[in-house]
């Protein structure tokens, strides 16, 4: 394992603060290192492995497609891309889909679509995009500008013009910034990288109303929240507020790289030929895998099981709060977080790894849980038992 780490340190740019472990195999909710040690994964690759590692249906679909046709580029038609686009459309907004390779690229497409729609409807002055403080939308220059986290933005200034930031769940602040120069509101229904903060139903309803009033698009970044993570197929379903544009990625391809920008029918033709592209976007292999993923998610009883396991985990975390071990619990479905009340989260994550458990902290005081949606109750209990031991006398 040490030779793999040394090779990375010598040849790979140090843009990630990696944990000191190298994995060689994954199965279900577990990862394995080269020495055969097993780790219970409650990060799921930051929600790319929603069905667990190497789900048999995803592996079979990808292997079959890879043996037939890997890619051709987007100058031609292939069967999996059309099938996947139809499936996503019919399950969500009913319009058309642009395929890319990641969540940042999906959001980049959404931003361009919003700017183009604004210009088409009201000329050059309709270009502003409102996003939320502490949100996260990616690391390209446009999506980094949309990501209202100063620490992430500072090294890359100057940023792109035309973005305005408001606090989450503050309707008055959003209303104060809205005028006819706004072409879009872009937000996550649950802020993920920001620490698992669900947006309130009345806030989403207000965003929908204000977008309509000012001729702006309402765009939901469901890169992390989508595809069953919150207990619904898409997080917008909790509030019953439909966006005009939605972005997907992470778990869509069962951990293969794919992003999707989805529109309502009225906005399906905003981007025409030559206005946007992605060489590898919508390749047959990740599209075939994504079809398998969606078929698993919409199978009878699957999402009900996610909600049941999410409720169970939340009940155990709430008990920890009652016992004074944590100061806050929040989230939806199996997208959960705890606040520790002191800056020990990184230490807890390090200790967890030594105990064969993979956790993630979004800040010095917050631990985020994104277990595979197929996690079992006994696995949840094991993680909570570890946390109870690790936090006793620490917070």
Q: Which residues pair with 356 in a beta bridge?
A: none
In degrees to the nearest 10, what's the CA dihedral of 91, 94, 96, 100?
-30
108 and 138 in a single domain? The answer is yes
The CA–CA distances, whole Å, from 316 to 105, 377, 390 equal 37, 11, 15
Active site residue 126: no
Verify that 137 and 285 share a domain, yes or no. Answer: yes
Residue 2's pLDDT is what? 83
Residue 112 sits at the vertex; the CA angle it makes with 109 and 116, to the nearest 5 degrees, is 135
- The predicted structure's pLDDT at residue 1: 65
Q: Which of 239, 269, 297 is the last residue of a domain?
A: 297
Q: Which H/E stretch holds residue 38? A: strand 38-41
Q: Are residues 319 and 352 in the same domain?
A: yes
Residues 349 and 362 occupy one common structural domain: yes
- Specify whether 130 is located in the same domain as 168: yes
- Domain end, chosen from 297, 318, 345, is at 297
Q: Are residues 293 and 305 in the same domain?
A: no
- Helix, strand, coil: what percent of the chain each, to 5? 40, 20, 40
Is 42 in the active site?
no
CB burial of residue 272 (10 Å; 0-12, 13-18, 19+): exposed
> What CATH number should be reported for the domain holding residue 260?
3.40.640.10
| One domain for residues 215 and 196 | yes
The yes-or-no answer on residue 221 being catalytic is: yes
Write the pLDDT tens digit of every residue in 258-281. 999 999 999 999 999 999 999 999
- Which tens digit of pLDDT belongs to each residue from 15-60? 999 999 999 999 999 999 999 999 999 999 999 999 999 999 999 9
In sequence order, which ranges of 257-301 are alpha helices (DSSP H)? Answer: 284-297
* Active-site residue, from 98, 136, 163, 234: 136
pLDDT value of position 388: 97
- Claim to verify: residue 49 and residue 90 sit in the same structural domain: no
How confident is the prediction for the chain on average, in pLDDT? 97
- Residue 100 CA to chain centroid, in angstroms? 15
| Structural domain count, the chain | 2
CB burial readout 372-390, b (16+ within 10 A) else e: bbbbeeebbebbbebbeeb
Positions in the chain whose pLDDT score sits under 50: 395
Domain region containing 167: 57-297
Are 149 and 276 members of one domain? yes
Q: What is the pTM of this model?
A: 0.96
User: Do residues 281 and 379 share a domain?
Assistant: no
Q: What is the pLDDT of residues 112-156, one digit of tens each?
A: 999 999 999 999 999 999 999 999 999 999 999 999 999 999 999
Q: Do residue 250 and residue 124 come from a single domain?
A: yes
Name the active-site residue from 250, 339, 369, 386. 250
Helix (H, G, I), strand (E, B) or coil at 237: helix
Among residues 23, 99, 221, 339, the one annotated as catalytic is 221
So what's the pLDDT on residue 351? 97
One domain for residues 293 and 334: no
Q: Domain with 17 in it: what CATH number? A: 3.90.1150.10
Distance, CA of 82 to CA of 151 (rounded, Å): 40
**Residue finishing a domain among 297, 327, 358:** 297
């Amino acid at each position: 394992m040490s030779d793999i780490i040394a090779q990375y340190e010598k040849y790979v740019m140090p843009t990630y603060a990696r944990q000191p472990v190298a994995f060689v195999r994954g199965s279900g909710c577990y990862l394995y290192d080269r020495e055969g040690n097993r780790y219970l994964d409650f990060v799921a690759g930051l929600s790319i492995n929603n069905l667990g590692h190497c789900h048999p249906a995803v592996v079979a679909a990808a292997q079959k497609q890879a043996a037939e046709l890997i890619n051709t580029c987007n100058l031609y038609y292939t069967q999996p891309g059309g099938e996947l686009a139809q499936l996503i459309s019919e399950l969500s907004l009913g319009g058309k889909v642009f395929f890319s390779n990641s969540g940042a690229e999906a959001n980049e497409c959404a931003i361009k679509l919003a700017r183009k729609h604004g210009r088409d409807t009201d000329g050059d002055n309709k270009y502003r995009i409102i996003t939320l403080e502490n949100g996260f939308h990616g690391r390209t220059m446009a999506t980094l500008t949309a990501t209202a986290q100063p620490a992430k933005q500072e090294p890359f200034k100057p940023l792109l013009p035309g973005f305005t930031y408001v606090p989450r769940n503050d309707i008055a602040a959003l209303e104060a910034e809205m005028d006819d120069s706004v072409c879009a509101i872009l937000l996550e229904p649950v802020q993920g990288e920001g620490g698992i903060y669900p947006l309130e139903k009345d806030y989403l309803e207000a965003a929908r109303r204000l977008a309509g009033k000012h001729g702006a698009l309402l765009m939901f970044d469901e890169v992390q929240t989508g595809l069953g993570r919150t207990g619904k197929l898409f997080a917008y379903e909790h509030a019953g507020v439909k966006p005009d544009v939605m972005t997907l990625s992470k778990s869509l391809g069962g951990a293969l790289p794919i992003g999707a920008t989805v529109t309502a029918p009225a906005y399906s033709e905003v981007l025409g030929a030559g206005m946007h592209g992605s060489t590898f976007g919508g390749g047959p292999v990740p599209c075939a895998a994504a079809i398998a993923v969606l078929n698993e998610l919409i199978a009878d009883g699957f999402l009900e099981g996610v909600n049941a396991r999410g409720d169970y985990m939340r009940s155990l975390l709430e008990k920890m709060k009652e016992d004074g071990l944590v100061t806050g619990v929040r989230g939806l479905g199996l997208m959960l977080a705890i606040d520790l009340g002191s800056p020990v989260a990184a230490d807890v994550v390090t200790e967890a790894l030594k105990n064969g458990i993979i956790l993630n902290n979004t800040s010095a005081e917050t631990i985020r849980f994104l277990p595979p949606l197929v996690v079992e109750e006994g696995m949840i209990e094991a993680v909570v038992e570890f946390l109870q031991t690790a936090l006793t006398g620490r917070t």
